[in-house]
Amino acid sequence: MSIYHKYLRLPMFPNIWCAGCGDGMVLKALLRAIDRLQLPKDDLCMISGIGCSSRLPGYVDFNTLHTTHGRALAFATGVKLARPKMTVIVISGNGDALAIGGNHFIHAARRNIDLTCILFNNLIYGMTGGQYSPTTPRGQFASTAPYGNIETPFDICKLAEASGASFVARGTAYHATQLDKLIEQGMRNPGFSLVEVLVQCPTVYGRRNRSGDPVSMLKWQRDNAIGVKAAEKLSPEELAGKLVTGVLFSRERPEYCQEYEKIMARAQGMTSTPS
């Protein structure tokens, strides 16, 4: 039996993802990271909202919650506060996390609560009609931008860093062996961790924007991704159009649940009240 089979709900297959979608590649990277950490299934909870990527928890044999659109991080915050020893992973998409869920995203990062958010960025709303999302590049086409998107997209990693996240990384579906290591690092970090993953969406985004077949989209990731150390040696002009990957930011900050437990202990009279 492969390492994947012991974590999957096999009766739930085949999955709903389109042929050539990158979501399954991220699923396998996530399971490799979990397997290396040797986490008991009952000690892990995986939570998602609505979207293509958010179907992932339905395929894995852990504690799982499939929640309302944009609210995965809010549900995850509740789970973590109720069960602070539990490892909590949030699976979300660029629309789910940054549009309707944008407020929850910035405040989960601000609190530095110990969650790992794996954010699948396919540059569009893939499941609900191909509308442009907060990460759709300027000039690209969507069902709600038939003449090209005029809005400036979010840089997800910079948004997470500015909001207070203590670990920020970016990977791609193509660089799968790097991706599981980034996810593992994020899960080890005692605070809010973001791992953005660029995934190809050939059916909706790729077809509408003439990006080619799934292989062509993966080759684009291969040819345009550049590691963070190599990127440091390049000028802004040389980095234009490139996708910087790896651990982009890391810092130590007080973790929310630990600070909350101190407040509870103080309120219950278990420690001295500060003067």
Q: What is the mean pLDDT of the chain?
A: 95
In this prediction, residue 269 carries a pLDDT of 87
Stated pTM of the model = 0.94
pLDDT at position 144, please? 97
- What was the pLDDT predicted at 145? 97
Q: Is residue 92 part of a domain?
A: yes
Tell me whether residue 56 is in a domain: yes
pLDDT given at position 1: 64
Residue 163 falls inside a structural domain: yes
How many whole angstroms separate alpha carbon 183 and alpha carbon 39? 14
Q: Does residue 14 have a cis peptide bond before it, meaning omega lies within 30 degrees of 0?
A: yes
Domain assignment of residue 66, yes or no: yes
Residues 6+ apart with CB under 8 A from 24: 15, 17
Task: Indicate whether 272 belongs to any domain.
Answer: no
Domain membership flag for residue 132? yes
The pLDDT value given to residue 2: 86
Cα Rg of the chain (Å, integer): 19
What are the tokens at 245? Answer: 């990957």
Q: What does residue 45 show for φ and ψ, rounded to 5 degrees?
A: -125, 130
Cα separation, 186 vs 119, whole angstroms: 12
Is the pLDDT at 33 greater than 70? The verdict is yes
Q: How confident is the model at residue 275 (pLDDT cuts 50, 70, 90)?
A: low
- Rounded Cα distance between 226 and 67, Å, is 35
pLDDT on residue 258: 96
CATH number, residue 157:
3.40.50.970
5 lies in a domain? no
What percent of the chain has pLDDT above 70?
Answer: 97
Model pLDDT for residues 88-147, shown as the tens digit of each residue: 999 999 999 999 999 999 999 999 999 999 999 999 999 989 999 999 999 999 999 999
Check: CB of residue 137 under 8 Å from CB of residue 224.
no
Q: Which two tokens stand for residue 173?
A: 């579906």
Give the residues across from 193 on adjacent strands: 116, 167
Number of domains in the chain: 1
> Is 272's pLDDT higher than 90?
no
Residue range of the domain that includes 180: 20-227+244-267
> Is the residue at 31 inside a domain?
yes
Tens of pLDDT, residue by residue over 149-204, are 999 999 999 999 999 999 999 999 999 999 999 999 999 999 999 999 999 999 99
